[in-house]
Chain A
């Protein structure tokens, strides 16, 4: 996969340091010696004691954060160009700025834990182990895409890594995610579902309905509000009476997290997963103690692009605001500074890594789907029913 290819190249970038250096140089990418880093901001909590600000990480992890986020960033920027070149059609919602949420979450969970998200799903797909080639193929409607070109930007899936998409209807993924958690509990899987939604979706009734049921039935669901402060063109204060999304679960504990800090995200997700899997206090009588397995994690994050490629993103926020966040809170820069401060790699080595990532991100030629794909995967079992093209006497198919 693109990322493993990258790591083998990076060892050749590292030259042995001159012995005049007083600090002993650590090797890039293989060192798993624990380093402890404090999150930039404390956690704010609701109905629960927050986790510690001291996060355990390692050189290997920090470097993989850097590489993976740089890859995600480049992919989104390349998608911007491809959209403007009309190679990507329809809607295209980009995630650049929010990479730390996808990366931090992956670091805290396994591929048996499920993730479900909205249409802003390219980087989440990559985080789950999806390939760059499959992603770009899908964006361009090719048969080598992760949904064979039939889904498009908003409908990436990777079931073998428990990634359930990729949903176009705002808020719909909330009950769906609780349903995944239901199945995990039903099948006694010792796994958790992370359901991501935005500040725009946070007001959807179905979210509260699903949360209520999840809390009643003790489902291992963690709801993650990716608060990028704008629901398309509407700022959070114009759409929510209470934009304290981590508190909106009422009886459900919540945590507010600096979503631009990958380590804070990792810590919060680890904390939430442990909480969701824990047995209740004193045996199985949960109801008497109002112990709630769910949590709402509010990730304070930011998207540099507009809502989608059809939205310039600057009619409802100032360019100063956007560049301000980029200068002060950019997630990749934060990890870059950490890496340099801990002497894990030099500035030049990191820049070289970014150049390698740029090269990874180029779109290969691949075929468009066969016309017969029009009729495939409508059902699992079609019972021999007929389906039709626009002219039913000209084009029809029997569904197997």
Chain B
């Protein structure tokens, strides 16, 4: 609802005409009040963790530099001072060890929020995430559930090279027993993280470093401490009728920019913010494609066996006769992330790639 107006354009403001077009597409419109609150994604995450820790003494935070350092990216700022060392734990640089310890604590009924400084380092602990956390409820026939949240920045940042830029959405989302969430806006961040912490199952919470500092308008409702977003439901950020663009995390911003550019050329794009990679909201995606009959899926991660591939498969399986064009995938390049700035730009989806693919789906030449 707020999402469309909620996205603050980094490159300037919305034009009056684009605002009108967007508002006409809203399910329930609220006027864009001049005095509305804004919140950075960082503050949204911080406040979500703070409120959940306040509400439930079983919730604790664990990770590298989360306490005294105030968080490598300042997401856990102030939490050690507020809750003390019994609730906020600075760990050594030993992911396999502390992740295993976190999962063990969750077995016993505590609710750990484990931070990975980036999800690249989660690979050191992936056995515990998958074998110890994801599968336990099933293997124990419901005796041992694992109410743990694994959170941290995921995907590419800026110039951090091959070992620090991978997107893990596809890997984790392929595992039954895990829930995988990917917020975009501040409202997403608050609502989804609170939902994740309250959830009785293991949740992989994929943030994005470059979004932390971005500000988004936020509603009173979202600021309330009981606010929660449903897991497994995608959000239609922008309604449209000609082509469906699905994506998550930082790429939502890119897709919205692409939709603006497409609108100038008379193509009305519907942008879906997945929010939840697992469970994947196939219903919303397919309903949209049945309306528009064209699909462009976008993600930052590697293309082969990616989130986009799953979405394409779902649409081909469920809505084949509605498709008027081949499905399109825009993803990260099929290469390890290069450091050089010009190569890094080529390795990641850009707005023009999304525009080009959408036009192809509409059989428009460049």
Contact = CB atoms under 8 A, between A and B. Distances in A.
Contact of B97 (A142, A205, A394): A205
Nearest to B328: A393
B211 interface: no
B164 interface: yes
Interface string B244-283: 0000000000000000000000000000000000000000
A151 B161 contact: yes
Contacts of B330: 390-391
Interface string B341-354: 11100111110010
Given A141-B159, A168-B161, A150 B340 contact: yes
A231 B68 CA distance: 13
A90 B160 contact: yes
A51 interface: no
A154 B97 contact: no
A154 B64 contact: no
Interface stretch (A103-111, A126-134, A216-224, A367-375): A367-375
Contact of B339 (A150, A167, A387, A395): A150
B357 interface: yes
A378 B335 contact: yes
A203 interface: yes
Contact of B343 (A155, A204, A373): A373
Interface stretch (B87-95, B105-113, B130-138): B87-95
Contacts of A390: 330-333, 346-350, 353
A91 B162 CA distance: 12
A153 to B, nearest CB: 8
A234 B90 contact: yes
Given A154-B163, A168-B161, A232 B333 contact: no
Nearest to A148: B340
A236 B333 CA distance: 40
B343 A374 contact: yes
A89 B333 contact: no
B120 interface: yes
Contacts of B57: none
B338 interface: yes
A149 B347 contact: no
A393 B360 contact: yes
A170 B93 contact: yes
26 contacts: A90-B157, A91-B159, A91-B160, A91-B161, A141-B159, A141-B341, A149-B339, A153-B339, A169-B120, A171-B93, A200-B93, A201-B93, A203-B94, A205-B94, A231-B92, A234-B65, A240-B92, A316-B69, A368-B342, A369-B340, A374-B338, A386-B334, A387-B333, A387-B334, A393-B360, A395-B346
Given A155-B162, A388-B334, 7 more contacts: A90-B160, A205-B94, A205-B97, A233-B65, A239-B90, A390-B330, A390-B350
Interface of B: 64-65, 68-69, 72, 90-94, 96-97, 120-121, 123-124, 157-164, 303, 328-336, 338-343, 346-350, 353, 356-357, 360
